[in-house]
Amino acid sequence: MQTRSIPMNATHAHSESASRGSWRRFARHFGEMMLAMVLGMAIGGLALELVLAPFGASLADASAPVAAGVMAFNMTVPMVAWMHYGHRMEVRRSVEMAASMIVPSIAAVALFWLSVIESEGVLLVQHAVMVPAMFAVMLWKREAYSGHH
Protein backbone atom coordinates (compact mmCIF):
# COMPACT_ATOMS: atom_id res chain seq x y z
CA MET A 1 0.00 0.00 0.00
CA GLN A 2 2.70 2.50 0.89
CA THR A 3 4.65 1.86 -2.30
CA ARG A 4 1.54 2.66 -4.22
CA SER A 5 0.85 5.94 -2.36
CA ILE A 6 4.36 7.28 -2.92
CA PRO A 7 4.08 7.42 -6.71
CA MET A 8 0.57 8.85 -6.44
CA ASN A 9 1.81 11.59 -4.10
CA ALA A 10 4.78 12.26 -6.36
CA THR A 11 2.48 12.40 -9.38
CA HIS A 12 0.08 14.71 -7.52
CA ALA A 13 2.94 17.02 -6.47
CA HIS A 14 4.24 17.09 -10.05
CA SER A 15 0.73 17.82 -11.34
CA GLU A 16 0.30 20.72 -8.88
CA SER A 17 3.71 22.11 -9.80
CA ALA A 18 2.94 21.85 -13.52
CA SER A 19 -0.42 23.54 -12.95
CA ARG A 20 1.21 26.43 -11.07
CA GLY A 21 3.76 26.78 -13.86
CA SER A 22 0.97 26.75 -16.41
CA TRP A 23 -0.87 29.57 -14.59
CA ARG A 24 2.39 31.54 -14.24
CA ARG A 25 2.93 31.30 -18.01
CA PHE A 26 -0.69 32.36 -18.52
CA ALA A 27 -0.26 35.38 -16.22
CA ARG A 28 3.04 36.31 -17.84
CA HIS A 29 1.47 36.13 -21.30
CA PHE A 30 -1.42 38.32 -20.13
CA GLY A 31 1.03 40.84 -18.68
CA GLU A 32 3.09 40.89 -21.87
CA MET A 33 -0.01 41.50 -23.96
CA MET A 34 -1.12 44.29 -21.63
CA LEU A 35 2.34 45.87 -21.88
CA ALA A 36 2.23 45.65 -25.69
CA MET A 37 -1.18 47.34 -25.64
CA VAL A 38 -0.06 50.16 -23.36
CA LEU A 39 3.12 50.74 -25.37
CA GLY A 40 1.11 50.69 -28.59
CA MET A 41 -1.36 53.16 -27.14
CA ALA A 42 1.42 55.51 -25.98
CA ILE A 43 3.76 55.23 -28.97
CA GLY A 44 0.99 55.13 -31.56
CA GLY A 45 -0.74 58.11 -29.95
CA LEU A 46 2.48 60.10 -29.81
CA ALA A 47 3.34 59.26 -33.43
CA LEU A 48 -0.10 60.36 -34.58
CA GLU A 49 0.14 63.58 -32.58
CA LEU A 50 3.51 64.31 -34.22
CA VAL A 51 1.94 63.77 -37.65
CA LEU A 52 -1.08 65.94 -36.86
CA ALA A 53 0.78 68.80 -35.12
CA PRO A 54 2.10 70.50 -38.28
CA PHE A 55 -1.50 70.75 -39.48
CA GLY A 56 -2.65 72.34 -36.23
CA ALA A 57 -4.68 69.24 -35.39
CA SER A 58 -4.68 66.83 -32.48
CA LEU A 59 -6.22 63.49 -31.66
CA ALA A 60 -8.01 65.33 -28.85
CA ASP A 61 -10.01 67.09 -31.59
CA ALA A 62 -11.19 63.80 -33.11
CA SER A 63 -14.73 62.58 -32.77
CA ALA A 64 -15.41 59.77 -30.30
CA PRO A 65 -15.71 57.12 -33.05
CA VAL A 66 -12.41 58.18 -34.64
CA ALA A 67 -10.65 58.28 -31.26
CA ALA A 68 -11.99 54.80 -30.43
CA GLY A 69 -10.85 53.47 -33.81
CA VAL A 70 -7.37 54.90 -33.40
CA MET A 71 -7.18 53.54 -29.86
CA ALA A 72 -8.30 50.07 -30.95
CA PHE A 73 -5.74 50.07 -33.76
CA ASN A 74 -2.90 51.35 -31.57
CA MET A 75 -3.57 48.72 -28.91
CA THR A 76 -4.47 45.75 -31.09
CA VAL A 77 -1.69 45.84 -33.68
CA PRO A 78 1.26 45.67 -31.27
CA MET A 79 -0.47 43.10 -29.08
CA VAL A 80 -1.19 40.82 -32.03
CA ALA A 81 2.32 41.40 -33.40
CA TRP A 82 3.78 40.35 -30.06
CA MET A 83 1.57 37.26 -30.00
CA HIS A 84 2.59 36.33 -33.54
CA TYR A 85 6.30 37.15 -33.51
CA GLY A 86 7.14 36.95 -29.81
CA HIS A 87 5.08 33.87 -28.96
CA ARG A 88 4.63 32.23 -32.36
CA MET A 89 0.88 31.99 -31.77
CA GLU A 90 -1.36 30.59 -34.47
CA VAL A 91 -3.04 33.12 -36.73
CA ARG A 92 -6.39 31.90 -35.41
CA ARG A 93 -5.42 32.93 -31.85
CA SER A 94 -4.34 36.35 -33.13
CA VAL A 95 -7.66 36.84 -34.91
CA GLU A 96 -9.58 35.83 -31.76
CA MET A 97 -7.56 38.25 -29.66
CA ALA A 98 -7.94 41.05 -32.19
CA ALA A 99 -11.70 40.45 -32.13
CA SER A 100 -11.68 40.73 -28.34
CA MET A 101 -10.34 44.25 -28.86
CA ILE A 102 -12.31 45.33 -31.92
CA VAL A 103 -15.77 44.08 -30.92
CA PRO A 104 -15.87 46.14 -27.68
CA SER A 105 -14.68 49.16 -29.67
CA ILE A 106 -17.50 48.74 -32.18
CA ALA A 107 -19.97 48.21 -29.35
CA ALA A 108 -18.84 51.39 -27.58
CA VAL A 109 -19.21 53.40 -30.79
CA ALA A 110 -22.63 51.85 -31.42
CA LEU A 111 -23.75 52.88 -27.93
CA PHE A 112 -22.60 56.41 -28.71
CA TRP A 113 -24.43 56.47 -32.06
CA LEU A 114 -27.56 55.18 -30.32
CA SER A 115 -27.21 58.03 -27.77
CA VAL A 116 -26.88 55.55 -24.91
CA ILE A 117 -23.55 57.07 -23.85
CA GLU A 118 -21.96 60.48 -24.36
CA SER A 119 -18.78 60.93 -26.40
CA GLU A 120 -16.73 61.09 -23.19
CA GLY A 121 -17.91 57.59 -22.29
CA VAL A 122 -16.83 55.87 -25.51
CA LEU A 123 -13.17 55.33 -24.56
CA LEU A 124 -14.17 54.44 -21.01
CA VAL A 125 -16.60 51.74 -22.17
CA GLN A 126 -14.14 50.56 -24.80
CA HIS A 127 -11.36 50.05 -22.25
CA ALA A 128 -13.64 48.69 -19.55
CA VAL A 129 -14.82 45.92 -21.88
CA MET A 130 -11.60 45.25 -23.83
CA VAL A 131 -9.52 43.86 -20.99
CA PRO A 132 -12.18 41.48 -19.63
CA ALA A 133 -12.94 40.37 -23.21
CA MET A 134 -9.26 39.70 -23.82
CA PHE A 135 -8.98 37.80 -20.53
CA ALA A 136 -12.10 35.77 -21.39
CA VAL A 137 -10.63 34.73 -24.74
CA MET A 138 -7.42 33.74 -22.95
CA LEU A 139 -9.35 31.62 -20.45
CA TRP A 140 -11.40 30.07 -23.25
CA LYS A 141 -8.19 29.00 -25.01
CA ARG A 142 -6.11 28.67 -21.83
CA GLU A 143 -3.92 25.86 -23.18
CA ALA A 144 -2.68 28.14 -25.96
CA TYR A 145 -1.78 30.92 -23.53
CA SER A 146 -0.28 28.82 -20.75
CA GLY A 147 1.87 26.44 -22.80
CA HIS A 148 5.45 26.87 -23.83
CA HIS A 149 6.18 29.14 -26.74
> Model confidence over 78-118: pLDDT tens digits?
999 998 888 888 889 899 999 999 999 999 999 999 999 99
- φ, ψ of residue 49 in degrees (nearest 5): -60, -40
Confidence (pLDDT) at 67: 95
27-79 confidence digits (pLDDT tens): 998 999 999 999 999 999 999 999 999 999 999 999 999 999 999 999 999 99
How is residue 115 annotated by DSSP? Answer: T
- Helix H, strand E, coil C: the string for 50-62 is HHHHHHCCCHHHC
DSSP states along 11-71:
HHHHHHHHHHHHHHHHHHHHHHHHHHHHHHHHHHHHHHHHHHGGGT--GGGS-HHHHHHHH
